[in-house]
Structure formats: structure tokens, C-alpha cells
Chain A
């Protein structure tokens, strides 16, 4: 199923966020290709505050399509150390490049032990690809 892009090496949530562990141990996150395609026409984002502490799967941002507002969940716990302010002016980057220029936030986990425990709860690319395939299959 090549309809949605699901890059290898990232971790995925059931709410359609991706997480990428960077070399310095921090985690970059955003929404998946599947999420942006479902939302379509993204016109606004509400970003978290830099310095905010979030728990895994806590709603900490939201994106607006014309039609609806959707929560964005933190894929891992930690401190928000950077947000992509470019998105405030160009929310369409979330549609155009969800894994690149459309990244949303960078999170610093409290410890690598906690991070690795939490990553266990997320899906690999293969698992996520199967997951969205199932979701698509359920659609009437």
C-alpha cells in the first residue's frame, strides 16, 4: 500500500503522530502523511509553549483544517525545547512535507530509560503501515 508515506526508522502513535529520536537523544515529532491527507487544507496550528512539560499522549497542540480542529498528542514525555514557528505563517507545510519542514516540536525526554520504555508503546513503520491499512479497510 503505497498511498501514504511511512518512513522507516520513525516511531508512530495510534493518533497519527511520528517521533524521530535524534543523535543528541531529543525527539522530533510531527503528524503523519496519513494524518495530513485526512485533515486536508490545514490552515492553522496552535503550538505548545517552549519549556512546557508534557506526558506521553497528552494533547499539547492542535491543527485546524477548514472543517475541524484536531488535537496533536505528544508521542513521548519530556520538555518541549523547540517548536516550528515557521508553521504559524505557513501551516500548509504540514500538508506538503509532514516529515520534513512540517515538523511540529522537539522534546527532551527526562531520561533515556523513560524514553526507551515509552518507545516500546509506539509502533514501528511496518506496524503503523499495517495499522492505517486496517483503518482504511474499515471505511465503508
Chain B
């Protein structure tokens, strides 16, 4: 039986439901395209309570996370978070995560829903070997998680919240304690859509007692009504992250891909000292990978999908699509694929085999797919 999040009472009445990583989640409410555009142009709100939330605490917490993740945990200050990777000895990606440092010896790890059990076992296994005292608790069912995303997210959330630090003063990946509609929450400036936005962590909200989560959710929708806020499902979440050029664990990154191949080296601090996977990753950085993740924009009609073949201009197979969709903003097909390094260069053209129907020309582009002067977190203020 699939699980349900704290916000199920809302989804059940309003959304087309899909099963994802063992959860019954909203795929869309009104439609993927209008929800996607609301986030790019104004604001949208997502239930992301299916994601795993693990609390890692104790004198050994910092050491454990510094050893099991690739980013610099020791340099991470309380009140800040970072995107990071858990890798195995071969440099394969076990999961991509966000690490929030709640206090000197207390961390919240946000992990992919499908990897929650694997990550827990991985962390507990490595905690034994390190000696330092550390406890790892799965808070997923007790903490609701809501993402408010888009250029007007700050306005909407400011209207319904009180926080220790003014929200507008938070830099990207910083967080503060606060209240949303009177419900205490941790408010973090982050997200996975490419837009400015916030993620709320609401403690004390379980699927059996969802009132606190529902109150915050309804208040955000009400506060954003005049701005055209929309509840958004996993469908729009996927098209938004793809337009931003962000990876989805499973199709785009997994234990068979490395941070170097996936071009996630920015989250790897090779000089920080020992961590799991370091030697393999360093070797690959020096030698150069055999393939690289590339972003593809179709130059003709068609929608690329996972598994479709990518061919060079001579028609030889050079890779396959790991994820692809129709970009609601560009009104054309976009995708990611692993290609030989010499082909993974912006400006080069390849062909995508649309499952036998046609071969469509595609251009390798630098992510994100959208015009960053008009869309995204760094857009020029209008």
C-alpha cells in the first residue's frame, strides 16, 4: 500500500494522483503547463514531504557526514545548507542530498524518497566504523516539507510568516527559524526549480495529524491568490528541474555515474581531506571521464524520452537520453544524455532517434535551458 504525505487531504480532492517512490503524490492539479508557468512567472507551491529527512546528531555527526558526502561539511556553518553527493568507493553516486547544519552537532539531511532506506543503511554502516557518537533518525513521517518557488515566493511567504531573520536577508542556502501562519517551521532559501524560493520544514506534522502542515499550506495559497499562485504537482517539478538543468536521481545520476561524468564537480571538495570515493573521483578528474552529461535542446518538433538513442551526425549511436520532456517555456523538446566528451560541447549538433518515427536534430547547450536574464534565480529585477 502506497504511503501518503501530510497534505494528502488536499491532494485527494484536487489532483491527478501518481505513485512515486512508494507515495501517492499529486502529478498535477490544473495541468503541468500552467503550473510550470506559474513558477517561472509568479509563484507555485509544492508538497515535497515524500522526500526523506534524516536527522544526524552527536559529537560524531560532522565527521560522519564529512566522510560520507563530497562537499565540505566542516566549513558549513550552522544556519546554512549545501547540495552534496554521497558516493561509493568507485565514485558512483549513492544519492544526491542537501545537508542543513542545524547546530554544531546537528544536521538535517534531505534525501531522495526512493533512496531513503538505502541512505539510512549506508550512513549507519559507516557510523559504526568511525567511533564518534552519532545518532541517525528518520524524521520523514514527522516533518512536513513544502516548497514555495518562483520570483514572487519571497513576497508570498513574507506575508504569512514571522522569522528570526527577515526572509529577504537570507542568502541562497541559508535558513532561519520562524512561523508560517502561526505554525513553527524552519524556512530555508532553496529549491530545485531554478527559481528563487523557499523550503519549509514543519515539525510535528504526521499523516495522522496533518493539521499544522495543512494550515501552513492553505495560508500560503491564500496569501498568493492575487499573484496567481498555483499548487503544483510532481509533473511541473520535473519539467522545472529539467529546464534548470538539474539531475534526477535514478535516470540522470546513479551508482553507475560519477560526479565528474555528471558535471557535479562543484559539489565535490577534493582537497578537503579523506572521504568515500575521493580516490576514484580524483583519478577520473586527472584522466578525464569517458563520457559527460550534456543538455540537449531539440531544433525540430519532437519530445525526447528516457532511453531514446542519441546519434552523431554520421548516424552512429553515441549515447542515450537519460531524461527528457517538453519544455513549457521553450515550447520544444529538451533532454539530458551522456555523450563522449568531444560531443558534449555547447554548440555541437547531434541527432535524437524519436523511437523510429524520425531523427530530430538537437543542439548541445549549457544549462539552464532558459534565458537567465528573464527567468531563474539570477534574473534581472524587473
Residues of A within 8 A of B (CB): 40-41, 43-44, 46, 62, 64-69, 88
Decide: A44 and B27 in contact? CB cutoff 8 A.
Answer: no
Decide: A66 and B354 in contact? CB cutoff 8 A.
Answer: no
Chain B contacts of A46 at CB under 8 A? 302, 354, 357-358
Decide: B358 and A43 in contact? CB cutoff 8 A.
Answer: no
Q: How far is the CA of A64 from the CA of B333 in the complex (A)?
A: 10
Decide: B325 and A66 in contact? CB cutoff 8 A.
Answer: yes
Decide: B33 and A66 in contact? CB cutoff 8 A.
Answer: yes
Q: How far is the CA of A34 from the CA of B95 in the complex (A)?
A: 39
Q: How far is the CA of A41 from the CA of B303 in the complex (A)?
A: 13
Chain A contacts of B357 at CB under 8 A? 46, 62
Given contacts A64-B326, A66-B328, 10 further A-B contacts (CB under 8 A): A40-B16, A40-B28, A40-B31, A41-B32, A46-B357, A62-B357, A65-B32, A67-B32, A67-B325, A69-B303
Residues of B within 8 A of A (CB): 16, 27-28, 31-33, 235, 238-239, 301-303, 305, 325-326, 328, 333, 354-355, 357-358
A46, A62, A64, A66 — most chain B CB neighbours (10 Å):
A66
Decide: A64 and B32 in contact? CB cutoff 8 A.
Answer: no
Decide: B235 and A66 in contact? CB cutoff 8 A.
Answer: yes
Q: Across the A-B interface, how many residue pairs have beta carbons closer than 8 Å?
A: 41
Decide: B301 and A44 in contact? CB cutoff 8 A.
Answer: yes
Q: How far is the CA of A62 from the CA of B326 in the complex (A)?
A: 15
Decide: A40 and B303 in contact? CB cutoff 8 A.
Answer: no
Given A44-B302, A44-B326, A64-B326: A69 and B355 interface contact (C-beta under 8 Å) = yes
Which residue of B27, B302, B354, B358 contacts A67 across the interface (Cβ within 8 Å)?
A: B27
Minimum C-beta distance from B238 to chain A (A): 8
* Least CB separation from B327: chain A residue: A66
Minimum C-beta distance from A93 to chain B (A): 15
Chain B contacts of A68 at CB under 8 A? 305
Decide: B303 and A64 in contact? CB cutoff 8 A.
Answer: yes
Minimum C-beta distance from B198 to chain A (A): 25
Minimum C-beta distance from A123 to chain B (A): 25
Decide: A66 and B239 in contact? CB cutoff 8 A.
Answer: yes
* Least CB separation from A47: chain B residue: B357
Decide: A44 and B303 in contact? CB cutoff 8 A.
Answer: yes
Minimum C-beta distance from A8 to chain B (A): 29
Decide: A40 and B301 in contact? CB cutoff 8 A.
Answer: no
Given A40-B28, A44-B326: A67 and B301 interface contact (C-beta under 8 Å) = no
Minimum C-beta distance from A35 to chain B (A): 15
* Least CB separation from B24: chain A residue: A140
Chain B contacts of A67 at CB under 8 A? 27, 32, 235, 238, 325
Minimum C-beta distance from B53 to chain A (A): 27
Minimum C-beta distance from A22 to chain B (A): 27
Decide: B355 and A41 in contact? CB cutoff 8 A.
Answer: no
Q: How far is the CA of A62 from the CA of B28 in the complex (A)?
A: 22
Chain B contacts of A69 at CB under 8 A? 303, 305, 355
Q: How far is the CA of A44 from the CA of B357 in the complex (A)?
A: 13
Q: How far is the CA of A66 from the CA of B37 in the complex (A)?
A: 13
Q: How far is the CA of A139 from the CA of B337 in the complex (A)?
A: 35
Q: How far is the CA of A78 from the CA of B311 in the complex (A)?
A: 33
Q: How far is the CA of A69 from the CA of B305 in the complex (A)?
A: 8
* Least CB separation from A61: chain B residue: B357
Minimum C-beta distance from A45 to chain B (A): 9
